[in-house]
Amino acid sequence: MLSIARSELTQILRNRAVLITSLIMPVAVAAFFIRFRETFGQIGSLGYIGAVIVFTIAAFSLYATTVTTLAARRQDLFLKRLRSTAASDASILTGLVLPISAISMVQVAVILGVFAGLSDGPADIPLLVLGVVATFVMMLALGLATAGITNSPEHAQVTSLPLTLGVVAVTSWVGITGTQDLTLLKRLLPGGAATELIVNAWNGGVPLGDSLVLLAPTLAWVVVAVALALRMFRWEPRH
Amino acid sequence: MTTTPAIDIDRLNVTYGDFHAVKDLSFQVEQGELYALLGTNGAGKTSTLEVVEGHRKASSGTVRVLGKSPGDRRAVRPRMGIMLQESGFSPDLTVAESVRLIGRLSGRTDSERRVLGVVDLTAKADTRVSQLSGGEKRRLDFATAVYGRPELIFLDEPTTGLDIQSRDALWEAVEQLRHDGSTVVLTTHYLEEAQQRADRIGLMHRGTFRHEGTVAELTRTLPAAIQFSLRPGAPAPLVQAGPGPDGSYLIETFELQSDLKQLLDWAHAHEVELLGLSAAPTRLDDVFRAIDAEPVPA
């Protein structure tokens, strides 16, 4: 698994175009939101800005890159090649998504760190970490599922678009309007409950138990995404 | 010699929707053997090979590879090397990195210097795969298949795109592996390679074996050919067929030696020159060409 992860990191760094485009987008968004944090704080809250940062990174750096690189590795028959060795399917997939997950984690830590330094900082760091991890796991699983219906890295630009834009839109909707009205719908949408959890973790003032309940829809999405990935993921190009 | 065959296939079926790619196929490959799986396009050999390699599930039937299920990757893969038909290396990795990665994942131990030496790619060790020619990619593929000298090696069209020197070098490496006891399963479109190298041949057509046996057994089913032509005005020879439209004679025979002697004796006695004389045993090509003409066995 680690040798696959190391080779994947080498490949990502050598063919930087995908990495850079997917890393720059969240940095630009984060810079914009942090620059106008007082305005966005009034529109939503500081927690909303935190949630936007987390979800932009999860959607672009993690999810879209995962879809693109898995489609590329399949198109090159590299997945089939890895599967002709003694490595198990689980270790192949883990090895392949490990580098981009680590890069995204570092990115989210650095940007949230900068944001915390410039503002009041999160109220509950462990809960925030939990929210970020749950979001990342959900987006990774959705990435595997989406890769299944993606024929090429170019095609990934189309197939990954609904979810990247969708979750960021959900984040803004939930982050700005809260969940007092349409509670169930907002919490059941992908990213809705996770946004509320991150907002709560940053702003504080919500009992821990109420926040932890919000993990349930996110984990349900993980289960749905894994089930979809198991059905939809393909190791070889269609003939 | 152990009695367990390297590959044991019993009534294998592979279907894709309505298409029956492999039908009730049974055969064994003995340890140490070089077995060539040949066939026309769409004959089902790739489907068969993919099941045996563990890349595809059988629709029905049993397949044992080295005594185990091919799906048991952890048990089977360290003992077998696979050269895929299409390379499947990452264009962004170098030759050495590719060999190191795939070699390590095979579970065998070897040195990348040794295997790159075998395929004469040492000078290209730090070259990215995207910069390699088609032939160099085939050689890289072969290098990963023979990494750690596995007991069982699959070569799926190994010499396609190779120049003659690389081809000879590859076969030399295969001979060395066989000398060390490896079993080799080969598919190729170069029939003369199969004819020269294979101990046995399984000839597939429409999902099933049309012939199976040694090269001699396969070619024995078809006649050998004697060809010649005569100068105008020469006496007609005592052969069953008259001259073709170009004036040349073709004699098909299962008794090449005696029929050839008879012809030469006749030519000598009548002081006739046999122009462009050739006498050739049946080649595998002819067996192949005859496949479509044969009735499908019930």
What is the phi/psi pair of residue B160, to 5°?
-60, 125
DSSP count for chain A of H helices, then E strands: 14, 0
Q: Rg (Cα) of chain B, in Å, rounded? A: 23
SS3 B90: coil
**CB within 8 Å: B105 and A82:** yes
Q: Which residues pair with B97 in a beta bridge?
A: none
In whole angstroms, what is the distance from residue A61 CA to residue A69 CA?
A: 12
Host H or E run for residue B112: helix B112-118
Give the amino acid at B258.
Answer: S
Residues of B in contact with A82 (CB under 8 A): 102, 105
Q: Strands of B224-229's sheet, edge to edge?
A: B248-253, B224-229, B275-280
pLDDT (0 to 100) of residue A167:
96
Residues of B in contact with A4 (CB under 8 A): 101, 105
Please give the full DSSP string across A88-154, using - where no structure is assigned: -HHHHHHHHHHHHHHHHHHHHHHHHHHHHHHS---S-HHHHHHHHHHHHHHHHHHHHHHHHT--SHH
Residue contact B55–A83, C-beta within 8 A: yes
pLDDT tens digits, residue range B197-218? 999 999 999 999 988 999 888 8
Give the separation between CA B113 and CA B136, rounded to whole angstroms: 16
Strand partners, B204: B39, B209
List b or e across B270-297, with b for residues whose CB sees 16 or more CB atoms inside 10 angstroms.
eebebeeeebeebbbebbbeebeeeeee
Rounded to the nearest 10 degrees, what angle do helices A2-14 and B95-106 cross at?
160
The answer to whether residues B224 and B234 touch, using CB atoms and an 8 Å cutoff, is no
B195: number of Cβ within 10 Å:
17
Helix (H) or strand (E) holding B187: strand B183-187
Q: From CA A39, how far away is CA B212, in angstroms rounded? A: 80
What phi and psi, each to the nearest 5 degrees, are found at residue B40? -70, 170
Chain A positions touching chain B (beta carbons under 8 Å):
3-4, 7, 10-11, 14-15, 73, 76-88, 236
* Number of inter-chain CB pairs under 8 A, A vs B: 67
Quick: pLDDT tens for B103-123.
Answer: 999 999 999 999 999 999 999
d(CA A141, CA A222): 6
CB B126 within 8 A of CB A14: no
Question: Given the DSSP bridges, would you call strands B248-253 and B7-16 parallel, antiparallel or unpaired?
Answer: unpaired
Contact B218, B203 (CB under 8 A): yes
Cα nearest neighbour of A73 on chain B: B90
Q: Nearest-CA neighbor of A48 among A66, A30, A71, A69?
A: A30
| Nearest chain A CA: its distance from B298 CA (Å) | 31
The top-scoring range by mean pLDDT among A174-183, B188-197, B273-282 is A174-183
Any bridge partners for residue B22, and if so which? B14
Residue B109 contacts A, CB cutoff 8 Å: no
Which pLDDT tens digit goes with each residue over A82-123?
999 999 999 999 999 999 999 999 999 999 999 999 998 899
CA neighbours within 13 Å on the CB side: how many for B212?
11
Domain with CATH 3.40.50.300 in chain B: 7-218
Nearest alpha carbon to residue A96 among A71, A130, A59: A71
Query: Residue B273: what residue type?
Result: E
Burial profile B62-87: b = 16 or more Cβ within 10 angstroms, e = fewer? ebbbbeeebeebebbbbbbbbbbbeb
Residue extents of the structural domains in chain A = 2-232
User: What was the pLDDT predicted at B248?
Assistant: 84
Give the confidence band of B295 by pLDDT, cuts at 50, 70, 90. low
Q: Which single residue is written with the structure tokens 């993990």? A: A215
| Average pLDDT of the segment spanning B261-271 | 90
- Tell me which fold the domain B7-218 belongs to: Rossmann fold (3.40.50)
Give the integer Cα–Cα distance in Å for A5 and A8.
5
- Please give, rounded to a whole number of angstroms, the shortest distance from the CA of A7 to a CA of chain B: 7
- The per-residue b/e assignment along A196-210, b for 16 or more CB within 10 angstroms, e otherwise, is bbbbbbbbeebeeee
Interchain CB distance below 8 Å, A78 and B89: yes
- Give the minimum alpha-carbon distance from A57 to chain B in angstroms, rounded to a whole number: 25
Q: How far apart are CA A187 and CA A214, in angstroms?
A: 8
What is the ipTM score, two decimals? 0.88
Q: What tens digit of pLDDT does each residue of A29-41 get?
A: 999 999 999 999 9
If you search the block for the tokens 């680690």, which residue do you land on?
A2
pLDDT in tens, A125-178: 999 999 999 999 999 999 999 999 999 999 999 999 999 999 999 999 999 999
pLDDT of residue B298: 47
CB contact under 8 A, A15 and B92: yes
Distance CA A37, CA A118 (A): 9
Tell me the pLDDT band of B240, cut-offs 50, 70 and 90. low
Report CB contact under 8 Å: B77, A10. Answer: no
* Whether the predicted pLDDT of B297 surpasses 80: no
Distance CA B227, CA B253 (A): 11
* Nearest alpha-carbon partner for B61 in B138, B125, B129, B7: B7
Angle at A41 between CA A40 and CA A43, to 5 degrees: 60
CB-side neighbour CA atoms (13 Å) of A2: 0
Q: Are A76 and B89 in contact (CB < 8 Å)?
A: yes
CB B185 within 8 A of CB B49: yes
Burial of A219 (0-12, 13-18, 19+ CB in 10 A): middle
Distance (Å) of CA B52 to CA A33, B67, B162 = 56, 12, 26
Pairwise CB contact (< 8 Å): B90 & A73: yes
Q: List, as ranges, residues 23-62 from B with C-beta within 8 Å of A.
A: 53, 55
Total length of chain B:
298
pLDDT surpasses 70 at B180: yes
Residue spans of beta strands (DSSP E) within chain A: none
